[in-house]
Amino acid sequence: MSCVQRLEIKLKRPNAIFETWLEHWLQVAERRNSKSRYKLREALNALKMYPLPLASGRECGILRGFGPALCQLIDNEMHKEQHKAQAVAANNNRYQNEIRNVVESVKKNKRKQKDKQTKLTKKERKALEEKQRHSKEVIMQPRTFRIKLIVDTQETSGKHKRLLDQTRSYLECLKVDYEVRRLTVGDFLWLACDQEGNELVLPYIVERKRMDDLSSSIRDGRFHEQKHRLNQCDIPNVIYLIEDYGENEHLGLPIENLQQALINTLIQNRFSVAHTKNHSRSIAYLQGLTQILIRTYKDKVLKSCANVDMARVSQSSKTEMSLLKFKSLNEDSARNAQLTVKELFILQLLQLHSLSLEKSLAIATIYPTPRFLIDAYKECKSLQDAQKLLANIRFGQLQRPVGSKISQSLHDFYTNEF
């Protein structure tokens, strides 16, 4: 295999104009003996070490020492001095052109070289074939495929031997065509499989929760994380299958709280919620849904599509359907694979007591990362102002404030050293 050449391009002062402004503000702060001089010096050092050109104050927010106020100050300065803003844009364009020229030069030199073609190993050849197969469009004609239920491995294993094969035995008794695999999202879904080994995912996925498991997942934050991943998996029809736990006593949370969580799931997340008395009734529900899906899709033409084309699913005709490949779904739905820093910050907030999803979203809208929040705390004039920083943030349809108690708790959490 040909050796990959790594290029390193460095500018001497990629953000010279911003550095000049910061140096001037730092001099003023030092003359006035202002506390802001420490933050300005920290920001200036971070800017000098950053190797890429930045186009605005907002982009500077990724660097240490740049809080919301300092980022806004840079943007205001750019607005006042339009000619310098144009110089910043020209600097960025020049940097991009230099990179493009170097890359093109390397490519040209590579084409001139006569590299010997090395034979692919068996492993590399198999990987290449798998990649080509993965990108190839799949078309399944009516009645040339079978539909089977896919069961997550977690649903067929357990700590107690009595429950080890319970799901399997119920499915076999009901004569359901099923297969056990590891799913990165959901507990049950359905595949259309043809004789060539192609697999397309039908647009339905089920997350099963027993009432005691629902309670524990709400308390430890898994409930919101799982709903987020189900929202991101590009399967339009999500079903929460809720099982009773005996008489639903000693669940760890009041039954009213669990019912409210399910109502929120139904209304806010637009998931379907089904309720069964026990595990055997849940499997019977899945068996009935399997038969409905077989009748619905057996006479359709099924075509594969990429995640970005999933909007076509809702626009499919009565005789044709666009579906995801199973491998694409499993790869793209791996835990945290698509979480941004903001989304991880929201999940972190959800672990804290009394913070709902609506409150967390409202806080993250103003302070999208922990760094923005901590910098905002540092810029407060007094400890009391810092503790009340988040108190008046509005959330939800009723636009209620977050409150001083939660604001103080978050301040203590993010400013104290443990």
Average pLDDT, the chain: 81
**Secondary structure (DSSP) of 245-292:** -TTT-S-SS-HHHHHHHHHHHHHTS--EEEEESSHHHHHHHHHHHHHH
Q: What is the rounded average pLDDT of the residues 48-74?
A: 86
Residue 194 is among the residues annotated as catalytic for this protein = no
Residue 294 Rama label (left phi>0; alpha psi -120 to 50; beta): alpha
Of 377, 343, 381, 413, residue with least CA distance to 68: 377
pLDDT score of 101: 72
- Percent of the residues in the chain that have a pLDDT greater than 70, as a whole number: 79
pLDDT digit string, tens, across residues 190-202: 999 998 888 999 9
Q: What is the rounded average pLDDT of the residues 299-307?
A: 83
Identify the bridge partners of residue 206 per DSSP, sorted by sequence position: 188, 239
Q: Which of 75, 155, 358, 385 is catalytic?
A: 155
Cα–Cα distance, 101 to 332 (Å, whole number)? 34
Cα–Cα distance, 290 to 279 (Å, whole number)? 17
Q: Which of 152, 199, 207, 212 is catalytic?
A: 152
Do residues 229 and 335 make contact, with C-beta atoms less than 8 angstroms apart?
yes
Q: What is the rounded average pLDDT of the residues 186-193?
A: 92
Residue 152 is among the residues annotated as catalytic for this protein = yes
Do residues 245 and 210 make contact, with C-beta atoms less than 8 angstroms apart?
yes
**CATH tag, 16-78:** 1.10.150.110
Does CATH place domain 341-415 in 1.10.150.670? yes
pLDDT digit string, tens, across residues 202-219: 999 999 998 888 888 887
Do residues 326 and 201 make contact, with C-beta atoms less than 8 angstroms apart?
yes
Helix or strand or coil: residue 159?
Answer: coil
Q: Which two tokens stand for residue 40?
A: 């300005």
pLDDT score of 275: 92
**Secondary structure (DSSP) of 307-326:** GGGTHHHHT--SSEEEEEEH
Q: Which of 23, 59, 104, 187 is catalytic?
A: 187
Identify the bridge partners of residue 231 per DSSP, sorted by sequence position: none
Q: Which two tokens stand for residue 290?
A: 């399997």
pLDDT higher than 80, residue 119: no
The fold adopted by the segment(s) 136-308+317-337 is: Rossmann fold (3.40.50)
Helix or strand or coil: residue 3?
Answer: coil
Q: What is the rounded average pLDDT of the residues 356-369?
A: 87
pLDDT higher than 50, residue 116: no
Buried b (16+ CB within 10 A) or exposed e, 229-248: bbebbbbeebbbbbbbbeee
C-alpha 191: how far from chain center: 24
Helices 68-80 & 370-378, crossing angle to 10 degrees? 90
Q: Output the CA torsion sign for 71, 76, 78, 81.
A: negative
pLDDT score of 205: 93
**Secondary structure (DSSP) of 19-33:** HHHHHHHHHHHHHTT
Whole-model pTM: value is 0.56
Q: Which two tokens stand for residue 225?
A: 């994380």
Domains 16-78 and 136-308+317-337 share a fold: no
Domain range annotation of the chain: 16-78, 136-308+317-337, 341-415
Residue 375 is among the residues annotated as catalytic for this protein = no
Residue carrying the six token digits 């034979």: 119
Sequence length of the chain is: 418
Of 91, 357, 40, residue with least CA distance to 225: 357
Q: How confident is the model at residue 312 (pLDDT cuts 50, 70, 90)?
A: very low
pLDDT score of 163: 52
